[in-house]
Amino acid sequence: MNDLQKLLKFDSETQALAQISGRLGWDQETMMASGSAEQRGAEIAAIEGILHARRCDDQVGEWLSNINAETLDEISKAQLREIKRSFERAKKVPGDLAQTIARTTSVSQGKWATARADNNFSAFVPVLEEVLKLKREEGQALATNADLYDTMLIDYEPGATADKLSKMFGALRPGLVELRGAILEKEPAEKLQGSFDEVTQIKISSLLAETFGYDLNRGRIDKAVHPFSSGSGQDVRITTRTNLHDPFNCFYSTIHEVGHGSYEQNIDPKYSLTAIGQGASMGVHESQSRIYENQLGRSRAFTAWLFMQMKKHFGDFGIRDADDFYKTVNSVNKGFIRTEADEVQYNLHVLLRFDLERALVSGDLLVKDLESAWNDRFYQDFGYNVKSASDGCLQDVHWSVGLFGYFPTYSLGNVYAGCLHEMLRKSCPQLDNELRKGNLTPATNWLQEKLQRHGALKLPSQTISDACGFEPSEVPLLTYLQTKFSEIYDL
């Protein structure tokens, strides 16, 4: 074997081990007994130690230096780009620090869940302080400039900077606040009535997953407190959750995670267990989950089909017809929980977290003051007070597991989804006719061809601009939201 072949074989084994580590995380969220957290932390730390050693192995550096990238094809160049980025990152982070972070965040996840259940932020403060300290140490080891937050962003959205995102979000926020205010002055949409059997919810959830193209021969659906997706290639798993009085929580969590899962399943099989065999970034990933969930799943055309499915399985549930059902699916109401937020308000939740975590990382905000800072900012953006820590700064798992820099990719994904949707509509002018039949194939095929099959072959911004034919901006998303909700609420 030549050096390139040796490097790619070594990296494929590293990718396989990373998938095993991910499966341990999936099990922790779905199947593992609560008393197993300490041992699971040790197991994950052990695998992380092996992964870190492989990623920064001197032999990898030697292979990289011996390979002339100029002689390679596009795929090999992309693989080398990603392997090199991983190698250089791993070289800068001490192995014991990587293991400590893995162990600490595994255990802190359970402590977060307890604090959230108890509505006790004070109990979580020392845990979060330790996680933040470790992540700042990691950031300082990696930093190539003075902004630690930019260093953290690279892990989730290569090429993004806090300044670029701040400008984009700054242009997005005023329009969202204005639209939200206008909507909440109107009469609210009708609500679902009665209770909805959880077994039936899961049955419809599986139907939705298959309708949106999720391959259950290479995946599965389980329940979790915080829905997520995991894996790639031939083993992609998603989770959902049920609520006896709110089946939309289950249905749209499922569609959202199917967007993530289908992206991974639809990547070109020849990229499997390689450095480009997963999504291009978290922002690009989120574009798939959001366009599946919102622009497609909450469209007037598709909700007409979903209305009939719910009537078939649940009988009368208080909504007169498909038009009223569409308004109910897209209702804008006061609330505290990001994952339950409507399209108009969702990004306001994310922008709040983006600003607060930047302040935490820079040291401008102390962990002990996070709850009050959160509550103050929430009141500014939403106009009412947070009632409990579980509705506020303890609602998300991300900070407990050290995912600083992750939150902005949610809004970036929405921006990307707005751009993709604009081009999808131009490319598929008869799309609504198919959505009314519950046929998502034209949309999902277009997304697979234009974006999903490429995996991480290209950098994130290039992935989106190539699919859309233009540079991404917040304008298509704002236009879509203003048009849709002005029509729904007669603004």
More confident residue, 75 or 224: 75
With respect to residue 148, please indicate whether it lies within any of the assigned structural domains: no
- Whether the predicted pLDDT of 41 surpasses 90: no
**Are 230 and 25 in contact, with CB atoms under 8 Å apart?**
yes
Contact 268, 253 (CB under 8 A): no
- Predicted confidence (pLDDT) at residue 225 exceeds the cutoff of 90: no
Q: Is 147 a domain residue?
A: no
pLDDT of residue 23: 94
Last residue of a domain, one of 88, 112, 142: 142
Please state, in angstroms and as integers, the Cα–Cα distance from residue 142 to each residue in 55, 58, 150, 302, 429, following that order. 15, 18, 10, 46, 47
Q: Whose CA is closest to 480, among 352, 382, 344, 349?
A: 344
Does residue 94 sit in the same domain as residue 203?
no
Q: What percent of the chain has pLDDT over 70?
A: 99
Residues 6+ apart with CB under 8 A from 421: 291, 295, 476, 480
- Domain assignment present for residue 424? The answer is yes
Residue type, 372: S
Task: Give me the CATH number covering residue 260.
Answer: 1.10.1370.30
Angle (CA) 39-42-47 rounded to 5° is 130
The tens digit of pLDDT for each residue in 273-320 reads 999 999 999 999 999 999 999 999 999 999 999 999 999 999 999 999
339 band by pLDDT with thresholds 50, 70 and 90: confident
Nearest to 310 by CA among 193, 224, 215, 213: 193
Mean pLDDT for the chain? 95
Bridge pairing between strands 229-232 and 219-223:
unpaired
Domain boundary among 142, 170, 200: 142
Q: Would you state the pLDDT for residue 447?
A: 98
Total length of the chain: 491
**Residues 271 and 291: beta-carbon distance below 8 Å:** no
Q: Which two tokens stand for residue 243?
A: 């609520």
Residue 169 and residue 100 in one domain: no
Average pLDDT over residues 354-383: 96
Does residue 154 form part of some domain? no
**Statement to judge: residues 348 and 308 lie in one domain:** yes
More confident residue, 225 or 384: 384
In a domain, 271, yes or no: yes
Structural domain including 25 reads 3-142
Query: How many angstroms separate the CA atoms of 413 and 273, rounded?
Result: 24
Active site residues: 257
Whether 20 and 136 share a structural domain: yes
- Checking if the pLDDT of 394 tops 80, the result is yes
Write down the residue that tokens 């933040």 correspond to.
132
**Hey, is 406 helix, strand or coil?**
coil
pLDDT at 197: 94
Whether residue 128 sits in one domain with residue 181: no
What is the model's pLDDT at position 161?
94
Give pLDDT tens digits for 135-163: 999 999 998 766 899 999 999 999 999 99
151 located within any domain: no
One domain for residues 118 and 225: no
Please tell me the pTM assigned to this model.
0.93
Residue 149 lies in a domain: no
Amino acid at 232: S
| Residue 119 and residue 179 in one domain | no
399-455 per-position pLDDT tens digit = 999 999 999 999 999 999 999 999 999 999 999 999 999 999 999 999 999 999 999
The closest of 173, 151, 169 to 361, measured between CA atoms, is 151
Residue 232's beta-bridge partner residues? 235
* Residues 43 and 95 grouped into a single domain: yes
Q: Is residue 150 part of a domain?
A: no
Same domain, 399 and 263: yes
Of residues 388 and 146, more confidently modeled: 388
Walk across the sheet containing 219-223 and list its strands: 219-223, 235-240, 229-232
Please tell me which residue, 465 or 90, carries the higher pLDDT value: 465
Give percent of the chain above pLDDT 90. 90
Q: Are residues 137 and 218 in the same domain?
A: no
The mean pLDDT of 331-336, rounded to a whole number, is 94
What DSSP string runs through 189-247? PP---S---HHHHHHHHHHHHHHTT--TTSEEEEE-SS--EEEETTEEEEEE---TT-H
pLDDT (tens digit per residue) in 177-200: 999 999 999 998 999 999 999 999
Tell me: do 173 and 57 sit in the same domain.
Answer: no
- pLDDT at residue 171 above 80? yes
Return d(Cα 482, Cα 491) in angstroms, integer: 9
Mean of pLDDT values over 348-353: 97
Provide the pLDDT confidence category of residue 111 given band limits of 50, 70 and 90: very high
In 3D space, the residue among 354, 351, 349 whose CA is nearest the CA of residue 338 turns out to be 349
Domain boundary among 93, 111, 142: 142
- Give the number of domains in the chain: 2
Residues 6+ apart with CB under 8 A from 321: 307
Q: Do 227 and 302 sit in the same domain of this protein?
A: yes
Q: What is the pLDDT of residues 55-108, one digit of tens each?
A: 999 999 999 999 999 999 999 999 999 999 999 998 998 989 988 998 999 899
Q: Is the pLDDT of residue 374 over 80?
A: yes
